Amino acid sequence: MKKTVFTGAATALITPMCENGSVNYRRLEQLVEEQIAGGIDALVICGTTGEKSTLRYDEHVKVIETAAKACEKRVPVIAGTGSNDTVYSVELCNDARDAGADAFLMVTPYYNKTSQTGLIAHYEYIADRVDRPIILYNVPSRTGMHIQPETYKELSKHPNIVATKEASGDLSLIAKIRYLCGDDLAVYSGNDDQTVPILSLGGLGVISVLSNFAPRVVHDLCTAYQTGNTKLAEEMQLKYLGLMNALFCDVNPVPVKEAMNLLGLSAGPCRLPLYPMSDDKKDFLVSKLKECNFL
């Protein structure tokens, strides 16, 4: 079995912004401390929730470096380094490594996309040129393409490709991945609302949005399942299900940043083209925060 990057709950951390839209690096350091104090098992930096798409290259690397320095190796720091440009992704991986990243999260190529054969070539090219473990990221709602189970099986043969973040929402697909890849590829849920179902299929944890302001909740949910208290894990999954869904009532990370600002956690705004929530969606989010006793 390949060495896993983490087991349990990882936070897909937001990138906090100042009101003028610049990155709030001081607040980022504080968020890392708050996450570790909350029991989180790993941190994902510069993913979708971290607004990777609107970070300039220098900002991207500095955000990773700031988080890694603040973390001080207490939990793994996983850097979002995926791209639809294969060579660019290698360059970003190497700079992220130098900035302190322990592993890479790599989304499938988007917009120009590729075939399944091209996907294998893309990931193997990168994996041959980096010296950190790679977590694949399958999120077809954003990229327009799936990683097929047979493609996963081929990619799982590479020693640097150790896991996937599965955000397809397709539990049958995930079951087939587990069947074909076994212990050669760890599976993490990419959706908070599917954490327990994926754990039940042998998944190792979740890369969570909810844990941006509830790290202890998500950590404890995973720990309950993994220590045999599946009933408690089920109860927690259902208790927070409405809030998990509310965090996706608008484009991520708009709702989670709104929730954090409402809770006094100073997330700041999102960068355009992401836009503030409408009043009706904000009211819905507030109702779910109150339902779960966060407000």
Catalytic residues: 137, 165
Q: Are 147 and 108 in contact (CB under 8 A)?
A: yes
Query: How many CB atoms are closer than 10 A to CB 171?
Result: 14
Tokens 């054969």 appear where? Answer: 117
Nearest to 188 by CA among 154, 165, 217, 156: 165
Nearest to 194 by CA among 169, 213, 157, 220: 169
Distance of CA 219 to the CA centre of its chain: 14
Rounded Cα gap, residues 103 and 113, in angstroms: 23
Mention every residue, 6+ apart, whose C-beta is less than 8 A from residue 270.
17, 51, 253, 254, 257, 276
Could you give the dihedral angle defined by the CA atoms of residues 207, 213, 216 and 218, in that order, rounded to the nearest 10 degrees?
-30
Sign of the CA dihedral running 113, 115, 117, 118: negative
Rounded Cα gap, residues 55 and 265, in angstroms: 21
